[in-house]
Amino acid sequence: MKQRLLDEIQSSSKNTMMKRGIISHLIYSENSTITDMSKELNLSIPTVTKLVDEMLAEGFVDECGKLETSGGRHPILYGLNADSGYFIGADLKQSGINLGLMNFKGDILKLQMGIPFKREDTLDSVKEFCNYIQTFIEQTSIDREKILNIGVALCGRVNPDLGYSPTFYNFGERPLADIMSDQLEINVSLDNDSRAMLYGEYMKTDMKGARNILFLNVSWGLGMGIMIDGKLYKGKSGFSGEIGHNYGYDNQIICHCGKKGCLETEISCSALYRKFVERLKAGEMSAILSQKEIEEITLDDIFYAIEKEDLLAIELVEEIGRKLGLHIGGFINLFNPDLVIIGGDMSRAGDFLLQPIITTVRKHTLSLMSRDSEIILSKLKTQASVIGACMLSRSKFFAID
């Protein structure tokens, strides 16, 4: 099955290209009739019927019920065959790994969140990362031969076409995707985590027809995923959306990139953490102090404090929201998006983050522009990246943008 799929997708015959078109259509619309496929792909009904018959025999597609119509005829609906193959998504964070398993149809079958992992910039660390993926695969009941691709989401600059991650895990000539593919003996593709988050959200939640979307990934750093007319925008080398390193503040804080005053020195979870600890050290009070020493406080503690309505933590999140709102206003002027999604770890702060963003955008942006774009919180929250990695893994396998 796997070899046949690989032979199919690597062939550039007209037949394969048309089949890939059908798969792409079924990825985005879940199920479809022969008539709808023929309209969508601009192919004749006999051609689509022949292709679908072949794909049924090959195991790509399956019948999945009949279309309910008011007339007498109930045309057959076709969808992707759930068991034809499986995809793995791996979301690598600075200090943890999230892993997911998805079937051919796009159902997420298993998620393992928050595996502790200390990322170091060495080949041994890559091997360890692969070992976790390997163990995850072994723990599923899926035949290894049926796993078609592994999609990895990484922060920083990632070139998805060449499989390079220049920000870290960059070992010279050999792309990281090749190193990982060799170790895992399954093809690996890479993408940037903010783009993965946006794609996960786009594929798995109701976007109400939005096709121009900005996804603000406010996590330990700050990044942005961009979708233009239903397609992820990567830029020339995949490095688009690195807004965290735009210059923004005369604050004398050295960013981890080595420059000063980057946006993420004020707008990120690392900024929230730094400021929270600084303010406590300066003598301010928080309920956390009744349970922990300042040195023991983690980012999770701060989000827990926000849930418990800790005033200092809320005040700092609101300040970050106002600063982010000013920049989102600029992005709205630039892109005129349908939707701006606020995601990443910081979205755990919910309305305490969202409301100051909305107010600031309304205050400082052309009203016609700001009212044209809706600003919402990520629905997938901390799962967005790993779900997006699963989804990108499938699209990448079929070379579908």
H or E segment and range at residue 96: strand 96-103
What is the rounded CA–CA span in Å between residue 136 and residue 143?
13
Contacts 24+ apart (CB under 8 A), 234-238: 234/160, 234/161, 234/195, 237/157, 237/159, 238/157, 238/158, 238/159, 238/160, 238/161, 238/191, 238/192
245 scored as a contact of Zn ion (CB under 5 A): yes
Contact call for residue 263 and Zn ion (CB under 5 A): no
Among 257, 280, 354, 369, binds Zn ion (CB under 5 A): 257
Of the candidates 102, 196, 203, 255, which one interacts with Zn ion according to CB under 5 A? 255
Distance CA 161, CA 359 (A): 39
Interface segment toward Zn ion; rule CB under 5 A; list 97-105, 196-204, 255-263, 362-370: 255-263
Which stretch in 180-188, 196-204, 215-223, 256-264 sits in contact with Zn ion by CB under 5 A?
A: 256-264
We find the least distance from the C-beta atom of residue 246 to Zn ion, in angstroms, to be 9
Residue 59, Ramachandran bin (φ over 0: left; ψ between -120 and 50: alpha; else beta)? left
Q: Which is nearer to Zn ion, 105 or 157 (CB)?
A: 157
The Cα–Cα gap between 340 and 331 comes to 9
**C-alpha span between 177 and 396 (Å, rounded):** 13
User: Which range, of 70-78, 188-196, 249-257, 362-370, touches Zn ion by CB under 5 A?
Assistant: 249-257
User: Looking at beta carbons only, is 174 or 259 nearer to Zn ion?
Assistant: 259
Q: What is the distance between the alpha carbons of residues 144 and 47, in angstroms, rounded to a whole number?
A: 34
Beta bridge partners of 225: 215
Residue among 262, 342, 384, 392 that touches Zn ion (CB under 5 A)? 262
Report the nearest approach of Zn ion to the CB of residue 114 (Å): 26
Residue 97 vs 255, nearer CB to Zn ion: 255
Please tell me whether residue 392 binds Zn ion under the rule CB under 5 A: no
Instruction: Output the DSSP codes for 249-301.
Output: --S-PBPTTS-BSBGGGTSSHHHHHHHHHHHHHTT---GGGGT--GGG--HHH
Nearer to Zn ion, 117 or 273 (CB): 273
Please give the Cα distance from 264 to 245 (Å, whole number): 7
Q: How far is the CB of 255 from Zn ion (least distance, A)?
A: 3
Say if CB 252 and CB 260 are below 8 A apart: yes
- Which two three-digit tokens encode residue 68? 């309910």
What character string, x for contact with Zn ion (CB under 5 A) and - otherwise, covers 42-71? ------------------------------
> Rounded to the nearest whole angstrom, what is the least distance from the CB of residue 155 to Zn ion in the complex?
12
- Which span sits near Zn ion by CB under 5 A: 21-29, 202-210, 248-256, 376-384? 248-256
Size of the site for Zn ion (CB under 5 A): 5
Q: Smaller CB distance to Zn ion: residue 224 or 262?
A: 262
140 to 199, contacts with Zn ion by CB under 5 A?
none
Nearer to Zn ion, 106 or 156 (CB): 156
Residue ranges in 298-327 that form contacts with Zn ion under rule CB under 5 A: none
Residue 43 is which amino acid?
Answer: L
Nearest-approach distance from CB 156 to Zn ion, in angstroms: 10
Distance CA 398, CA 10 (A): 9
Q: Which of 102, 122, 123 is nearest to 111 (CA)?
A: 102
DSSP state for residue 315 in the 8-state scheme: H
Closest listed residue to residue 225, CA positions, set 264, 193, 268, 267: 193
Smallest gap from Cβ 262 to Zn ion, in A, equals: 3
- Closest approach of Zn ion to the CB of residue 357, in Å: 21
Q: Smallest gap, in angstroms, from Cβ of residue 254 to Zn ion? A: 9
Smallest distance, Zn ion to C-beta of residue 224, A: 14
Contacts to Zn ion by CB under 5 A: 245, 255, 257, 259, 262
